[in-house]
Structure formats: C-alpha cells, structure tokens
Structure 1
Amino acid sequence: MPTIPSLPILDSSRPDDAHLSHVDPKQWPGVAHVPDSIGITVRARLAEAAFARACAKAGLSTDPSGNPDVEVLHEALFYRIAESGWLGFAESWMAGEWRAENLAHVLEKLISVGYQPRTVTRSKVRPDESEEAGEGIIPPALVGLTSFDGLSVHGGMFASGVPTTVRTKVSESTYADVTEWSAPVDVERADIRDAHARAVEKLLDACEVRAGTQVLELPVHSGAVTAAAAQRRAIVDAMTTRRELASWLKEQLVLQGVDDAVHIGVTEKTIPAKLSSRYDAIISTERYELLPPRDRSRMLAIIDRTLAPGGRAGLQSLVALPALNQSGIRSMDAIRAYIWPALSYPQLDQVRQDIAATSRLYIETENHFGIHYAYSAELQAKLFVGNAREAAAEGFDSVFRKLWEYYFGVKQALLNLQMIDAVQFTLATRSPRTR
C-alpha cells in the first residue's frame, strides 16, 4: 500500500495574495484571493491531510524530490479546498498553485477513489435551472484554437475501432439498434480533424441529409453541423441567441461558399417557444446536457412538433452512466461556475424515458463512442495548450487557459472511468404501425 505522500506543511497564518498578482480580480474574483473565512487555517490543515490520504489511495505521487504526479506549489491550494471543495481544487489549478504533467490522469485517479473534500457548507455550484443558464456559448475565437477546421468543439469519432450493434429495448415499447465502438488505434493529433468531421457526417447520414433536405440546427453550438449540411446542398436554418455567433458563423459560411443555403436566426430564448417551419432533419450537438431540465423538455417538444413525417432528428450528447459518483459530479463544479451554469449530464435511461414520453418520437438507433470522445478530448487539450501564444493574443489570459485545459481533462477522466458516455441518438417519428 502506498505511503501517505509528503506535502507542504501549512504555516499557522493564512497565506497572502502576493502570488496572485497575475490574476485579474475583476474577471476572476474567486481566483484572485485566498479564502479568509473564520477558522480557515484549521480547516486547511484538515484538507491537506485528507488530500494526502486521497493521493495515497489513488497511487498518486506528490513528493517534490521525485517525479510527482501532483506538484503542490503553494499552500493556498488547501485553503481553497477547505473553502469550496472541488471548485477550490480547480480554482487553485487555474491560479497556478499546483501543476501536473498529466492533468486528466490525476483527475481520473482522484475521482476513481471518490475524493470528496469536506467543506463547511455543501457546494453552492448546483446546475442553474433559470432560462438564461443554457445560453452559454464558446467564444468563436476559442473554437479555432481547439480544432483544425475552426468550427468543431464536439467530440470526434476516429476511423479505427470496431462497432458492435445489438438490438436493445430502450423503452417499454421500443427497441433500437445500439452500437458500441471499441477504442481507436494509433491515434495522432492530426487525426482530430477527420474525427470531428466523421462525427458530424454520421449524424447527417443518420438523418438522411442530402441536397434539398430541410435541416434545422437547434441550437447552434459552433457551426460544424450547419456548414457540413450546407456542403451537401441542404437548406439549413440555424438558431442562436447570440448575434456575435451569428455574424461569425455567417463569415465562415461565406468563406466556404455555402452561405446562400443557410439562414441564421437570432432568437430571444435558447429553445424558441415555437417554430413556423417543418423540417426533414433536426440536429443538435452537445447542447442538450448544457440546458436546464425545462429547456430539455422544450427541445424534445419542439422536435416532436416540427419534425416532418418520415424525418429524422440527430441528438449528440454526453450522458451519465450508473457509475457516476458524487466525486465525478462535483469535479465539474468549476465548469458550472465559469462556463456553463446549467451543465448536468442526464442519465442515459432518463434521456430514453424523456424521448419516449413525447407524442411522436422514438429512438431508432444509438451510437455510443465514449472511448473515441476521450481520445478526442485529449487531443483537443494538447492542441489548445500548443496554441497558448495564439490564445493569449486573442485575449484569453492564463487563468482562462488553465480552466479550458481543466475542462478537457475532467471530461477525459469521466469518459475513461465510464462514468459518462458520448451518444448519438437518431430519433424518428411514429407511424400507426410503430405506436
């Protein structure tokens, strides 16, 4: 059994903020200051001991004299953990108070042993269920720093890997073809471009998108689906709440010479109350899990109402599996706090039930590619880290860059642990025979 690793011995006084001079307090108030609540030093000592035990249990080295998995650079780490648990752990990473050669590995190991720091109060970073919570988008400049095509932020699907398809009962009255993909082989960074494109192409193929198909992307995530559908000469409507995203996407479509086939609508709400058109195909990539439960229901309802008879809907989402523990859930606190307030991975069975509860929709196929997504997240993180200078030039400071790296790392960890999965659902409309 591994021995409890050595960690910095806490001083009797709270550390000051001198090491945080690089952090903008207006932009990052939670990172710019070390917590100073009542009794924090005593609680920080306890947090340090608990962290040491968790690292030992996980087999993580913290010995600075060797080659540590986790290198603690400042004792403020334990003050943050004592104050806000996993959120504090992530904020300390963002502040540069600890480092890891392989962040995803460290997160995976800590989550696997159920590391759950004690705090005075339960974490306040709960999924936000307000209507505005689902409106978060990735800044367009960031998309180009994490992909080769400048449009993709979704998980990719690589050419290698063996699919296994089984006819599976997914609701009381419905069976679907459920495909599981084995791990890809010999994946390299350059493969991410094709992997991104392949994931989109599979959605478009499943929805039978071709020339003249009426397509809706609801809501736009980064534009990859809209651009690929337009390349097939489909007629595309794309919905977003953000004018800056609409303008940027228009520019990208002009560069590709397909802007004439696309109408970009700016709506007041992420999921509009109603749409006047009917569509042969409706596609959404990785927005479902970012929506409050109310908007998830609205999304399925609007697909139910506006999908033409015989049409298909493609829904790509990260979903929770039964293995997801509280440590895994809390590891995403920083993502909810700083990027997507409503983020909550729905249970796979819950998604199936919600789809079955609609009046016309049923699941025709499921494509499970979580292991491919894990490789994709790893490569995207490396691509982003390699573009650090470009990211700084675009205005993304070191704190944000660390946050974005953490986001990829925690997704990779949860996917590797099979606590979450990546799934492409193909939905069809019921006919009298399938009711």
Structure 2
Amino acid sequence: MSTIRPPRQERSAGRPGRAVGPEGPVDPARWPDVARVPRAPVRGRAARFLAERAFTRIPIRVRTPAGSLPAGGGPEAPLLDLHRPGDFYARLGAAGLIGFGESHMAGDWSSPEPVRLLTVLAEHYADLVPRPLLPLRHAVLPRRSGRDDNTPEGARRNIRHHYDLSNDLFALFLDETMTYSAALFGPGDGPAAEAGPAELAAAQRRKIDRLLDRTGVGEGTRVLEIGTGWGELAVRAALRGAQVTSVTLSAEQRSRAAQRALRAGVADRTDIRLCDYRQVTGSYDAVLSVEMVEAVGERYWPVFFTALDRLTAPGGRVGLQTITMEDAPMRASRGAYTWMHKYIFPGGLIPSVPAIEEQLRTRTALRVTDRRAFGTDYAQTLRIWRASFEAAGAQVAELGFDPVFRTMWSFYLAYCEAGFRAGMIDVEQITMERD
C-alpha cells in the first residue's frame, strides 16, 4: 500500500466534498484544494467573462449541461466538456492554471481527447487573456515562495514527493528499462504513432547509448551519474567496462537500481549512493545527468554547473539531457507557482538553452561540442506512458492510489505531451568537454 502525500499547501476556504464522477467524494485530507471550491464570486465572474470570450477565438468546442457555448472550433475540434461550469470558473478565477488543473481533478471538466485539447490551448496560449490584462497576471495569480527551494533538505523532500511514491507504480507504465525520461526513436521502431512499450524500450536504450557514445564511455572510464533513476544508464555504462558512481536522493530508486546492477552482474563496477550532488567529490572522465537539472531550481543553477565543472577531469566530457523552453517564456514565468509545482514537481524550473550557456560561460571551463533536440520523441514517449498508465488503472488502485491521484497523473502526462506537441517545450542532449 502506498502512502499518498497531498501537496504542501494552505487549505482554502470553500464548500467541502465534491464527487469525482461515479467514484465517490474527494478526500479533503488528501486533496484539500480539490475537495473545496473556493469562494471567489468576483474573480469567478471575471474568469467566466474572459474564458467565454477566449473560447470564441480558439479552435475548440465547449459543451455545458445547458448546451454548447459559442466557440471557435468546428465539429471536428477537440471538446471541452464543462460538467460544473460555476465551480470551473470559480477555481479558474481564484488560482488561474492551478485552478484549471484542480478543476479537472475534481471532475468539473473533462475531454475525450485531452492531449488534442491541451495542445490547442497551448498553441493559443497568448489568446487566452487579452493583451492589456497580461501585466495583471503577476498581481492576481500565485507566486513562488521559498518553501520549495532546493536546499539540501528541501531537495530531499521534493524528490521524495515524486520519485518515492512507489517503484511498483512507475513499473506499471514505464517500459522494461524503467527509464523515466525522453526516448530517442529511430527508423527501426516503425511508425511513431504505432510504437508501444517494446519499441519504447529500444528507443530508451538508443537514447542512453547515444549519450554514452558522445561522452566516450568505455573500458576503464570513470563515470559519475547525477540522478540515478532506476539504474538503466548506470548498468549500461558498467556493461561497457566503466566504473560508475551514481547518486540519487530517492531511496526507492537507489534500492531498485542496486538490485538491477546485481542482476546484471555489474555490482562490482557500480557504486549507487543516496547522496546530494553537492556532496560528491572526485574527478571523472564522464559526468552524465539525464533530466535532473530541471529539478535543481534557478537559485541553484550556479551550484549545479559549478559542480559539473569541478567533478569533470581535464579533457573529460559532460553529457546533459534536459527539457528546455524558449528563453523569453522561461524568464517571464520563472516566479510563477504552477499546478506542476503544487502537485507533481515542487521546486523545479525548466531552463532555456541560453540560460544553460550563460552558466557554462560564466562559471565553468566547459564548452558545448554537440547538441541534439528531439521533442517530438518525448511526445511519443509520453503517449505510450499515458496509455500504459490508463490501461493499468485497476493495478494503480490496488497500490492504494485513489481516483483523484489517477486523474491527476493522467492529466500530468497529457499536459506534458501537449507541451511538446505544441512546441512550448523541447528536450535536448547537450555534450560538453572540459578544456
């Protein structure tokens, strides 16, 4: 049985107890801000006015219990089904996009094609709020506080919030490699839209092998991995004859990764530690980190990139895989507190490539030697994960995860897939060498 941790938050005033479809009321102890509809009459009316104006400019369909609303999409456009419009607008007015996500968790709205709907909304993000009102977002929407900062203790807490949910949960939707990052598909995987878990496993190994190749990992290479995951990269590097040190803050991941190294016969070449990257010492020929910098937080980027430089031997290489976003949106949104921070990844910030380059230029002797972007592959990865997760609904429930969690997790995967399909975010492998 899993212990499901509610987000760290203040409970809002509001009406208790909303049902999630036919599966019963929301547990207010686990999900206080989902169970309670905020009392926001003025903001709710404003949100209704702005949303209904936006619907007419966006190619979607909107349906309510009273009938369809005027919207910009034809009969083939994705559908936004508002089951409880009043609650939807109240949440939207009180908390913006956090309220949008909580409203879905509460069952106020749904869509038969959530990725298509969210992709269209992402593509038309600039049309959702009239331009003269954009400066007001910072005044009325939630902003970050310091409670999720990635101090050594904060980082451990943030990582536990997500990665220590349950190894069994992640095993239900990840492929056999237990790799929780973008795969790299190739011609041998067949049509991308038809790829499944078997093709995903091959694509994950291709992604890892490309990173190992670019950083010259082979017999006798001293490898440091920052962010172990469930051990696939560490095992594959050790199978090449490398001596691997891998650090993680997740006890669940460390346990599974150590077991996998033992089964693969490379336990003598892998040292998997429960350790913060800031505590690592030594000098390594290759330093690898896959989709971990997003969890570091802007305040600690200088610490992270200085550590990369400090730990890489002269002439050594760094292989970094990271989700990225354009620089202007990143800088405009870096102080915002989002649904993703509240429920999925507290304390994180997706960097831009210019932000990474600035850190490298000002704090390190590392220079970029290779870049490869493959955001469309991440969309395919997420599509397979979501299909597997939803197909495993009964097993997820048996692990102790309630209907709100299952709705939240499916929304999280759809939300991310839509971001890659709309081009709002990308993913890159960046190889660097230390002069």
TM-score range, shorter chain: 0.7 to 0.9
Count of aligned positions: 390
**1:279/1:371 Cα in 2 relative to 1: closer, same or farther (>3 Å)?**
same
Query: 2:402 corresponds to which letter in structure 1?
Result: D
Cα deviations by residue, 1:78-98 (Å, 9 ceiling, x for unpaired): 211111010010011112221
Residue from 234, 243, 251 that aligns with 1:243: 251
Residues 241-280 of structure 1 mapped to structure 2, 5 A cutoff: 241-267=249-275, 270-275=276-281, 277-280=282-285
Residues 253-402 of structure 1 mapped to structure 2, 5 A cutoff: 253-267=261-275, 270-275=276-281, 277-322=282-327, 324=329, 333-402=338-407
Residue from 205, 209, 213 that aligns with 1:201: 209
**1:331/1:153 Cα in 2 relative to 1: closer, same or farther (>3 Å)?**
farther
Say whether residues 1:138 and 2:163 are aligned partners: yes
Please give the alpha-carbon distance, in whole angstroms, between the structure 2 residues aligned to 1:89 and 1:359: 41
Q: Root-mean-square deviation (CA), in Å?
A: 2.9
Please give the alpha-carbon distance, in whole angstroms, between the structure 1 residues aligned to 2:109 and 2:333: 20
Cα deviations by residue, 1:60-86 (Å, 9 ceiling, x for unpaired): 111356876111122322211111010
Please give the alpha-carbon distance, in whole angstroms, between the structure 2 residues aligned to 1:304 and 1:329: 25
Say whether residues 1:113 and 2:140 are aligned partners: no
Moved more, 390-399 or 319-328: 319-328
Does the CA contact (< 8 Å) of 2:15 and 2:38 recur in 1? Answer: no
Does the CA contact (< 8 Å) of 1:213 and 1:235 recur in 2? Answer: yes
Residue from 15, 29, 34 that aligns with 2:32: 29
Residues 162-177 of structure 1 mapped to structure 2, 5 A cutoff: none
Residue from 180, 188, 201 that aligns with 2:195: 188
**1:313/1:130 Cα in 2 relative to 1: closer, same or farther (>3 Å)?**
closer
Moved more, 402-411 or 320-329: 320-329
Say whether residues 1:212 and 2:220 are aligned partners: yes
Say whether residues 1:416 and 2:416 are aligned partners: no
> Which residue of 2 is the match for residue 157 of structure 1?
184
> Which residue of 2 is the match for residue 50 of structure 1?
50
Please give the alpha-carbon distance, in whole angstroms, between the structure 2 residues aligned to 1:348 and 1:29: 37
**1:273/1:256 Cα in 2 relative to 1: closer, same or farther (>3 Å)?**
closer
1:324 positional shift: 3.8
**1:148/1:94 Cα in 2 relative to 1: closer, same or farther (>3 Å)?**
same
What secondary structure sits across from 2:372 in the alignment?
Answer: strand
Query: 1:121 corresponds to which letter in structure 2?
Result: V
1:262 positional shift: 1.1
1:392 positional shift: 1.5
**1:348/1:22 Cα in 2 relative to 1: closer, same or farther (>3 Å)?**
same
**1:55/1:221 Cα in 2 relative to 1: closer, same or farther (>3 Å)?**
farther
1:100 positional shift: 1.1
Query: 2:214 corresponds to which letter in structure 1?
Result: A
Does the CA contact (< 8 Å) of 2:220 and 2:241 recur in 1? Answer: yes
1:350 positional shift: 1.3
Query: 1:47 corresponds to which letter in structure 2?
Result: A
1:43 positional shift: 2.7
Query: 1:98 corresponds to which letter in structure 2?
Result: W
Please give the alpha-carbon distance, in whole angstroms, between the structure 2 residues aligned to 1:329 and 1:377: 24
Please give the alpha-carbon distance, in whole angstroms, between the structure 2 residues aligned to 1:323 and 1:295: 20
Query: 1:34 corresponds to which letter in structure 2?
Result: V
Say whether residues 1:122 and 2:141 are aligned partners: yes
Query: 2:149 corresponds to which letter in structure 1?
Result: E
Please give the alpha-carbon distance, in whole angstroms, between the structure 1 residues aligned to 2:238 and 2:169: 23
> Which residue of 1 is the match for residue 3 of structure 2?
none
Gaps of 5+ in 2: 1-13, 69-74
Query: 1:24 corresponds to which letter in structure 2?
Result: D
**1:274/1:147 Cα in 2 relative to 1: closer, same or farther (>3 Å)?**
closer
Does the CA contact (< 8 Å) of 2:219 and 2:242 recur in 1? Answer: yes
What secondary structure sits across from 1:70 in the alignment?
Answer: strand
Query: 2:427 corresponds to which letter in structure 1?
Result: A
Please give the alpha-carbon distance, in whole angstroms, between the structure 2 residues aligned to 1:285 and 1:325: 20
> Which residue of 2 is the match for residue 228 of structure 1?
236
Cα deviations by residue, 1:386-435 (Å, 9 ceiling, x for unpaired): 121222222222222222222222222222222221110101111xxxxx
Query: 1:63 corresponds to which letter in structure 2?
Result: R
Please give the alpha-carbon distance, in whole angstroms, between the structure 2 residues aligned to 1:184 and 1:322: 32
1:364 positional shift: 0.7
Please give the alpha-carbon distance, in whole angstroms, between the structure 2 residues aligned to 1:334 and 1:402: 14
Does the CA contact (< 8 Å) of 1:324 and 1:420 recur in 2? Answer: no
Between Structure 1 and Structure 2, the one with more helix by share is: 2
What secondary structure sits across from 1:145 in the alignment?
Answer: helix
Does the CA contact (< 8 Å) of 2:419 and 2:425 recur in 1? Answer: yes
> Which residue of 1 is the match for residue 94 of structure 2?
83
Query: 2:142 corresponds to which letter in structure 1?
Result: S
Does the CA contact (< 8 Å) of 2:321 and 2:428 recur in 1? Answer: yes
1:328 positional shift: 8.2
Say whether residues 1:61 and 2:66 are aligned partners: no
> Which residue of 2 is the match for residue 178 of structure 1?
none
**1:148/1:274 Cα in 2 relative to 1: closer, same or farther (>3 Å)?**
closer
Cα deviations by residue, 1:260-281 (Å, 9 ceiling, x for unpaired): 32111122xx332441x22111
Query: 1:188 corresponds to which letter in structure 2?
Result: A
Please give the alpha-carbon distance, in whole angstroms, between the structure 2 residues aligned to 1:241 and 1:250: 14
1:334 positional shift: 1.3
Does the CA contact (< 8 Å) of 1:156 and 1:376 recur in 2? Answer: yes
Please give the alpha-carbon distance, in whole angstroms, between the structure 2 residues aligned to 1:142 and 1:198: 24
1:254 positional shift: 2.6
